[in-house]
Structure 1
Amino acid sequence: MSAKRILVVDNEPKMRRILELSLKNLGHEVEQAGDGREALAAIERGAFDLVLSDLRMPNMDGIALLEALRERGEDVPVIVLTAYGTIETAVAAMKLGAVDYILRPFEIETIELAVSRVLAMRAVQLENRFLRDELARGWGGFIGTSAPMRQLYELIGQVAPARSNVFVVGETGTGKELVARALHEASGRSGLFVPINCAAIPAELLESELFGHARGAFTGALRDRVGKCELSSGGTIFLDEITEMPLALQAKLLRVLQEGVIERLGSNAAIPVDLRVVAATNRDPQAAVDEGLLRRDLYFRLNVVRIDVPLLRDRHGDIPLLAAHFLQQYARELGRPAPRLDETALARLERYAWPGNVRELENLMERAVVLCRGDEVTLQHLPGEIAGTRPAAPVAAAEDAVAAPADLSLKSHVETLESRLIRAALERSGNNKAAAARLLEISERALWYKLKRYGL
């Protein structure tokens, strides 16, 4: 948890000092006040994330401080400390907005636990408020308040109202489709948002998916079919993994973008379309152009505005919020109370490099919900390579896999090794096909073909 600003309010200097040292040891910034009046003056000078206040003080006590904060509309959380722990004082403090109260004398560990709990709760509350604001703007799928995400929100807000095509670039699992959906939802365009994964559809079927076909255009074409471009007219078409589209089809797409009309397969009828294209890739698009995977003229047509999606490892501050969201989501699906991450498990998540980005974190939290039988996710519910109990599983060396074979058929051994390597890549990537393809150094389309071939 990042450092927070905490105000300690107590008329006893020794107690203030003890609390200050304890909270500073937790990494927080601490300011002191001797009574409620000094506390209000401090709050006027600058915002605090938490107030820790005694109830019995001269001039202005804790109850009066809570009343004043409520009158001023301040929503800073307050933990009250009291040696007069009657039901009446506790109820009065809680009614006025105190989030917790602690009886004196107390162990310092009790204070530290209460502070950590309240600050974590506060972070979730602020995140929920932020997400409600984003949902009102049509961007409800995002979770994150880090600087890179706020820059992303601002750029989406600037680009969305324009009709310009957009190129979204980011590693697998960063949320490129969320960006595309946000652009569409905030655009004001009345048509549909239509996604299509260019890597997941065989090349021979992709043209029909994009442009549709007329009845009888090919064997099995029993009726006319509307393509994705026609379906998204007036809205947004999202072309995910555009670099996996065959070059011949890229040329046809370029013509559609230039002329604003499509022709279904097997038909000469020109159909006008109003397209806004959001394309995406997990590659460097300029490198894809240089490698001959993406037509240069199509790239220029699509890359009017480029949006780079932040990597999860570049916004570690969002990990607690994302993890809590996914734990709640999958616990709700299973009809269970949502568990929480203990501090050790959260610390490991924050140190991990996240090659699979947000999608990998989501998969891990789903796994944790399935395995957790209590109310807390600990290291035992995380994979060994994250928990630190084992290194990432190595892929068997090729020479070991084919050592001293009884059968000398090269084809059969190549297929066996290829199947084994694919399984290892899928396991290492958390069954993420795009990430596995990168590990194998093949295209995602080639991986899908091999998965089907080997029945994986």
Structure 2
Amino acid sequence: MTDYRALIVDDEPDIRELLDITLSRMAVECTTAATLAEARDLLANQVFHLCLTDMSLPDGNGIDLVDWMQSQCPDIPVAVITAYGSMDSAITALKTGAFDFVSKPVELPRLRELVESALRLPPENAGEDRGTTGARDEELLLGESPEIDTLRRQARKVARSQAPVYISGESGSGKELVARLIHEHGPRREHAFVPVNCGAIPQELMESEFFGHRKGSFTGATENREGLFQAAHQGTLFLDEVADLPLPMQVKLLRAIQEKRIRPVGAKEEVAVDVRILSATHRNLAALVEDGLFRQDLFYRINVIELRVPSLRERAADIPILARHILERLARDYDLPPAQLSDDAVTALQAHPFPGNVRELENCLERAFTLSEEDVIRGEDLQLNGAPSPGSAPEESAAIPEPGESGMDLESYLESIERTTIEKALAQTEGNKTAAARWLGISFRALRYKLKKLGME
């Protein structure tokens, strides 16, 4: 770490000296200030790569400086030094725009970690107009509407902070894409992004999944296993559908976030972990707090900064862009000719409410892509009202396999039906795919798609 300069703002000479010595050993040149006015003057006239400010200053406070820097020099990450236990002040600083905070008495390992993270940050506007980062932003959050443009800018801004971010929005609106964008723009981008659907983990396995376990700690624990926190160490842990966490697990999660330490199931010692927490849910988390179904202290801990993802109907102007991207991806995935949308199809899509948002749009287009007879998808091919497409014939019945004693998941069960029916059609037509498609009452495109999907080519 060389050629970096930091501004230290604190009215206590001993603290200024401690910070100066610590940063100098990291090859960071330091300049100090004792007041808010002095700090503003230095920031306005010199180049700095980092600012560390005490919360309490003779002529103001650290939050005043953070707020001033957001408008005057937003590219300089600023961290606030707070009194021990002053979490409310720390959260206010983070919401104002601070990159991070450190509590007094200052722990030097924590301070070094903060400085290293801050000096890895890209400028706030890096990649906005060109370059690989900007291109990746567009790929993650497609669209040109004011709503999606605002969301991209907000995500890039909060990425520079270490504050927990709560991402709200309807199901299928793209909350995980926003979380990935935040991760890729932050100082942890070189480390793992670990998404987890909290509603998909069985309650009895939840503690082991999050914190890991030691061999022999319970029946079936045949070896040591790392949990999600350890997998996300120095990276980002994205808690999707966090509202589905049971209350006992909420307590353990809160402690892990506060203490930055976890105890694997069956372990005697705690393990230090360094993760940034991003969370999301389609449910009203504040209402769940009022109903006693979600802990208030955990809510405040994960909801330091909130980003709202707009629904698809709020940005209907983006539907043609999203649809084109989805159809191009489908054509690549299944090695089929690309399909275009007719004008009436675009109009129909933009008029549809899409309660399932982008996920519903993807399903709708995938269905139309496979069933359309030509390379142009028309309005009637979309089946937005659930009606069958004109001219489609029901598939002939085929022998349907019964689920075994251990059961069968629905997707595998339906695929087995499709496979059996297609095999019968190909046998009936002596392997002629065009004739088989006609026999099944589907388009040749649809048959090619299904053969590819089921691995029958």
Aligned with 2:310: secondary structure? Answer: coil
Kept in 2: contact 1:132–1:140 (CA 8 A): no
Counterparts in 2 of 1:381-392, with a 5 A limit? 381-385=381-385
CA RMSD of aligned residues (A): 2.2
Please give the secondary structure, in 2, of the residue aligned with 1:230: helix
1:373 Cα deviation after fit: 3.0
Query: Is this contact kept in 2: 1:169–1:280, CA < 8 A?
Result: yes
Equivalent position amino acid for 2:156 in 1: G
1:267 Cα deviation (Å)?
0.7
Aligned to 1:259: 259
The percentage of aligned residue pairs carrying the same residue is 42
For residue 238 of structure 1, give the secondary structure of its aligned residue in structure 2.
strand
* 1:80-116 deviation digits (Å, cap 9, x = unpaired): xxxxxxxxxxxxxxxxxxxxxxxxxxxxxxxxxxxxx
Residues 207-226 of structure 1: pairs in structure 2 closer than 5 A: 207-226=207-226
- Amino acid in the other structure paired with 2:195: P
Unaligned runs of 5+ in 1: 1-128, 391-422, 424-456
Change (3 A) 1:312 1:207: same
- Render the CA deviation track for 1:268-299: whole Å, top value 9, x for unaligned: 21110112100101011101211222110000
Pairwise mapping of residues 217-296 of structure 1 onto structure 2 (< 5 A)? 217-296=217-296
Letter matched to residue 373 of structure 2: R
| Distance in 1 (alpha carbons) for counterparts of 2:332 and 2:213 | 42
Structure 1 segment 282-431 matched on structure 2, within 5 A:
282-385=282-385
Q: Deviations over 1:346-380 (max 9, x none)?
A: 11111000000001001111111111231100123
1:165-184 CA-partner distances (Å, limit 9, x unpaired): 00000110001110111111
- Return the alpha-carbon distance in structure 1 between the equivalents of residues 327 and 131 of structure 2: 19
**Per-residue CA distance 1:15-57 (angstroms, 9 max, x = gap):** xxxxxxxxxxxxxxxxxxxxxxxxxxxxxxxxxxxxxxxxxxx
**Bigger CA radius of gyration:** 1
What is the DSSP-based 3-state SS (H/G/I as helix, E as strand, rest coil) of the residue aligned with 2:299?
A: helix
2:159 aligned partner: 160
Amino acid at match of 2:183: H
Aligned partner of 1:229: which letter? F
Q: How many residues align?
A: 263
Structure 1 residues 261 and 387: alpha-carbon distance in aligned structure 2, compared to 1, 3 A threshold: same
Q: Give the structure-1-normalised TM-score.
A: 0.55
* C-alpha distance 387-155 of structure 1, shift in aligned 2 (>3 A): farther
* Alignment CA distance shift 1:301-1:183 (3 Å): same
**Separation (CA, whole Å) in 2 of partners of 1:182 and 1:295:** 28
Unaligned 5+ residue runs, structure 2? Answer: 1-127, 391-409, 411-457
Contact 1:352–1:386 under 8 Å retained in 2: no
Q: Partner of 1:142 in structure 2?
A: 141
In 1, are the aligned partners of 2:381 and 2:389 still within 8 Å (CA)? no
* TM-score normalized with structure 2 length: 0.55
The runs of at least 4 consecutive aligned structure 1 residues that moved more than 6 Å come to: 129-133, 386-390
| Secondary structure at 1:315 match in 2 | helix
Structure 2 distance, partners of 1:131, 1:349, is 30
Pairwise CA distance, 1:389 = 8.8
Q: Secondary structure at the match of 2:139?
A: coil
* Cα shift readout 1:157-211 (whole Å, capped 9, x = no counterpart): 1100111100000110001110111111111213210011010111111111100
SS of 1:313 mapped into structure 2: helix
